[in-house]
């Protein structure tokens, strides 16, 4: 750099550095483990909170799968635990709806948004861009504690007399707007809305930090096109969140007004319990638009980070450069852009103008193009690779398998004509659980197994990891594959008991198989949880700085890095992150200068 320009060279990283050095010496238990401002600790906090939520949300699905698989069986122990919610050992309808609603809310927002992005954005951004910490460690801490606040509120809603929100995770009005409409529309619904408002604040604080850290605090030589794909994925995820959560927030404000101040934003011409309500002029469809303007980008907020994690872990374990690095970035950009233009495909059956519907069909099907580019890039990365089947790598392969299976059915439901038939059936359940539920979990597990050594300085147990992977993969297909048939046959989602319906009672046996697989897959996740916590304390110790032979910067830090990550200067970057198997070398870290006679990639 020439001397004549006075750019703020390294000013900000140094400020952060000094700041941390000052604090490093008098850390207490509270500042180190509770109100920590260290990105690594905040990542662990997000991960463990996410795991707790995943257990709770998963357990809920086990409970409603018991109802669906064994609708005529009475289990007295249920009543012992849940009291009048499971009267006579049978899950009551209100309980069933509450379970479904909270399962969706918890898994979508608290596990796969906060638990996933919160963990890996915090862990990987400073490590991989070469920064001592986030741009604002304080805001980062606030982001986590707003998430905890949201968690506490939503947890409290599980224990109120009338139960938590029960109108489905999308909380459509008028059901959600009228307290007298159902049990779950009372205080539980208010707690849900307040919790989600806190959640949006948490996402905003986190997102601002992620974007500004990635743009502003890259180490010397780390151009945007040398960033690992994980960081690119998190950048797009953060931008999606920053631009779509505020719209949801606006929608919630209006919903709260309708609930408590008597406004008519979403309400019109309603008769409730024989009474004509005074509300007029509002539109429940308006809420659906506001909700899905977030709701659709939200599914990419869930899947994009895992795409980044999978790309990185896959390239490392195939010992090959990721295929089509620039195409990966371009396709993520295309997905992020299209994410904002397709929300109304969730609303084909609301009476939408068919012409408008056809526009949304076109834009929706366009997403298949960047998605397919990514899939082919992963397959070509695996092609003739020198693959190491670590648990992380297996989950990467599982991710691609799930993403293909779920992506293909997306073409079905993205088509408005087919969607008329498939809307609100088990086909949709199968589609989105495979493509953003199981896929995202696969990607997240890949990330956890792979970066566990960096987080805790120990390995997770491989054997348990393999059992975890194979049982999860098989169960996922056993659970969701048959649901496609049920959906084609018109079996609607959210029903309490199918055995009484002439059209669907022949599915009772199939439902039992699904329930069995669901319970088994829940148990095997507990095996993962056991592996995770056992390995934190008793896992095999990491002895080398770079156990996977990876190129990125986090593996140039000490095995157990202190606050500030690098004891000395932050390393300078000279190349992209994917020089594996190049010029006869197994791997060349980003910090190694480009040799004179080295071929360019």
Partner 1 sequence: MSTHVPAGYKWWTGGKSPYNVSYGKLMMWIFLLSDTFTFGALLISYGTIRVSQNYWPDPNHVFNAFPLMGHTNLPLAFVSLMTFILIMSSVTMVLAVHEGHKRNRAGVEKWLLWTILGGSLFLSCQAWEWTHMITGSHAVLIDGQIKEIGATITQNPYGAAVPGLMHDGHQVTTPGPVGFGGFFFGITGFHGFHVFSGVCLLVLALVWTRIGKFDNLGHYEMIEKIGLYWHFVDLVWVFVFLCFYLI
By CB under 8 A, name the binding residues for partner 1.
2, 4-10, 12, 129-130, 135-136, 139, 204, 207-209, 211-213, 215-224, 226, 242-247, 249-251, 253-254, 257, 261-265, 278-283, 286, 289-290, 293, 572-573
Nearest-approach distance from CB 501 to partner 1, in angstroms = 37
Which CB sits closer to partner 1, 20 or 44? 20
Block residue for tokens 């997102």: 207
- CA-wise closest residue to 133 among 210, 207, 208: 210
Question: How far apart (Å, rounded) are the C-alpha atoms in residues 529 and 52?
Answer: 9
Give whichever of 293 and 403 is closer to partner 1, judged by the CB atom.
293
User: Both tokens of residue 306?
Assistant: 């895992």
CB of 210: closest distance to partner 1 in angstroms? 10
Phi-psi region of 583 (alpha: psi -120 to 50; beta: other; left: phi over 0): left
Alpha helices in 173-222 (DSSP H): 187-216
Distance CA 523, CA 534 (A): 16
Q: What tokens appear for 460 in the block? A: 């997770």
In the bound state with partner 1, the residue whose beta carbon lies nearer, of 9 and 538, is 9
Which of 118, 297 has the CB closer to partner 1?
297
The whole-angstrom separation of Cα 223 and Cα 227 is 7
296, 240 Cβ separation under 8 angstroms: no
Whole-angstrom distance, CA of residue 462 vs CA of residue 528:
11
* Min dist. Cβ of residue 540 to partner 1 (A): 35
Give whichever of 23 and 289 is closer to partner 1, judged by the CB atom: 289
Select 167 or 241, whichever has its Cβ closest to partner 1.
241
With contact defined as beta carbons under 8 Å apart, do 366 and 341 qualify?
no
In a 13 Å sphere around the CA of 350, the CA atoms on its Cβ side amount to 18
Q: At residue 84, what are phi and psi to the nearest 5 degrees?
A: -70, -10
Shortest CB 574 distance to partner 1, Å: 11
In this structure, the strands spanning 275-276 and 271-272 are: antiparallel
Question: Which residues, at least 6 apart from 589, have a Cβ–Cβ distance to it below 8 Å?
Answer: 546, 550, 551, 552, 555, 556
Residue 527: other Cβ atoms inside 10 A:
16
Please tell me what DSSP assigns to residue 87. G
| Cα–Cα distance, 322 to 64 (Å, whole number) | 41
CB of 11 to partner 1, least distance (A): 8
Nearest-approach distance from CB 491 to partner 1, in angstroms? 34
**Shorter beta-carbon distance to partner 1: residue 155 or 211:** 211
Phi-psi group of 389: left, alpha or beta (phi > 0 → left; psi -120 to 50 → alpha; rest → beta): beta
Q: How far is the CB of 206 from partner 1 (least distance, A)?
A: 11
User: Smallest Cα–Cα separation from 234: which of 121, 371, 111, 112?
Assistant: 121
- Least gap, CB of 439 to partner 1 (angstroms): 27
To the nearest whole angstrom, how small is the minimum distance from the Cβ of residue 35 to partner 1? 21
Cα angle at 439 between 435 and 441, to 5 degrees?
A: 135
Closer to partner 1 by Cβ: residue 179 or 490: 179
- For partner 1, give the closer residue by CB, 15 or 80: 15
Complex with partner 1: residue 287 or 580, whichever CB lies closer: 287
Question: 281, 264 in Cβ contact below 8 A?
Answer: yes
C-alpha–C-alpha distance, residues 556 and 548, integer Å: 12
Q: Give least dist CB 316 to partner 1, A.
A: 22
Distance CA 205, CA 226 (A): 26
The residue (of 264 and 401) whose beta carbon lies closer to partner 1 is 264
Is 278 or 351 the residue whose CB approaches partner 1 more closely? 278
For residue 353, the minimal CB distance to partner 1 (Å) is 14
585 strand-pairing partners:
582
**What residues form DSSP beta bridges with 271?**
276
- Give dist(CA 489, CA 486) in Å, integer: 5
Q: Rounded to 5 degrees, what are φ and ψ at 582?
A: -105, 135
Bond prior to 174 in cis (omega within 30° of 0)? yes
- The minimum distance between CB 454 and partner 1, in angstroms, equals 22
Q: Which of residues 569 and 586 has its CB atom nearest to partner 1 in the complex?
A: 569
Closest CB 450 distance from partner 1, rounded Å? 25
């Amino acid at each position: 750099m020439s001397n004549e320009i006075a750019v703020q060279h390294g000013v900000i990283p140094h400020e952060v550095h000094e700041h941390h050095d000052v604090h490093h010496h008098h850390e207490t238990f509270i500042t180190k483990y509770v109100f920590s401002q260290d990105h690594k600790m905040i990542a662990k906090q997000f991960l463990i909170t996410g795991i707790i939520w995943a257990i709770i949300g998963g357990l809920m699905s086990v409970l409603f799968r018991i109802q669906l698989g064994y609708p005529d069986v009475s289990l007295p122990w249920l009543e012992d635990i849940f009291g009048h919610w499971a009267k006579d050992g049978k899950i009551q309808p209100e309980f069933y709806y509450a379970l479904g609603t909270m399962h969706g809310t918890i898994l979508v927002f608290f596990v796969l948004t906060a638990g996933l992005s919160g963990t890996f954005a915090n862990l990987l951004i400073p490590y991989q861009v070469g920064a001592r910490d986030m741009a604002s460690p304080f805001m980062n801490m606030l982001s986590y504690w707003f998430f905890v606040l949201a968690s506490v509120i939503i947890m409290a809603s599980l224990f109120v007399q009338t139960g938590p929100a029960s109108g489905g995770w999308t909380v459509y009005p008028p059901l959600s707007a009228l307290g007298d409409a159902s049990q779950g529309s009372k205080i539980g619904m208010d707690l849900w809305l307040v919790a989600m408002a806190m959640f949006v604040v948490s996402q905003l604080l986190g997102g601002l930090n992620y974007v500004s850290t990635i743009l502003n605090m890259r180490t010397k030589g780390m151009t945007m096109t040398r960033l690992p794909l994980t960081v690119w994925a998190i950048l797009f995820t953060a931008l999606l969140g920053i631009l779509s959560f505020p719209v949801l927030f606006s929608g919630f404000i209006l919903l709260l007004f309708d609930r408590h101040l008597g406004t008519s934003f979403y309400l019109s011409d309603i008769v409730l319990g024989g009474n004509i309500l005074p509300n007029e002029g509002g539109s429940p469809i308006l809420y659906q638009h506001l909700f899905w303007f977030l709701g659709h980008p939200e599914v990419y907020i869930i899947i994009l980070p895992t795409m980044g994690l999978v790309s990185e872990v896959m390239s490392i374990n195939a010992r090959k450069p990721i295929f089509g690095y620039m195409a990966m970035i371009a396709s993520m950009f295309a997905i992020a852009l299209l994410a904002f233009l397709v929300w109304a495909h969730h609303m084909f059956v609301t009476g939408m103008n068919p012409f408008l519907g056809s526009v949304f069909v076109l834009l929706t099907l366009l997403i298949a193009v960047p998605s397919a580019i990514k899939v082919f890039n992963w397959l070509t990365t695996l092609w003739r690779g020198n693959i190491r089947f670590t648990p992380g790598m297996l989950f990467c392969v599982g991710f691609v398998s799930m993403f293909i299976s779920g992506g293909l059915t997306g073409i079905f439901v993205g088509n408005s004509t087919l969607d008329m038939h498939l809307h609100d059936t088990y086909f949709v359940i199968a589609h989105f659980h495979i493509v953003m539920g199981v896929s995202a979990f696969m990607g997240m597990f890949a990330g956890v197994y792979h970066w566990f050594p960096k987080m805790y300085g120990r390995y997770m147990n491989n054997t348990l990891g393999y059992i975890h992977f194979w049982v999860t993969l098989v169960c996922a297909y056993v659970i969701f594959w048959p649901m496609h048939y049920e959906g084609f046959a018109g079996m609607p989602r959210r029903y309490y008991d199918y055995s009484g319906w002439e059209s669907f009672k022949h599915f009772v046996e199939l439902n039992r198989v699904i329930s069995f697989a669901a319970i088994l897959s829940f148990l095997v996740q507990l095996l993962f949880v056991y592996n995770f916590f056992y390995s934190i304390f008793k896992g095999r110790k990491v002895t080398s700085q770079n156990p996977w032979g990876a190129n990125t910067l986090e593996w140039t830090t000490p095995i157990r890095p202190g606050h500030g990550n690098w004891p000395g200067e932050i390393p300078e970057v000279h190349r992209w992150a994917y020089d594996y198997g190049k010029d006869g070398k197994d791997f060349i870290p980003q910090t190694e200068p480009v040799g004179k006679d080295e071929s360019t990639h």
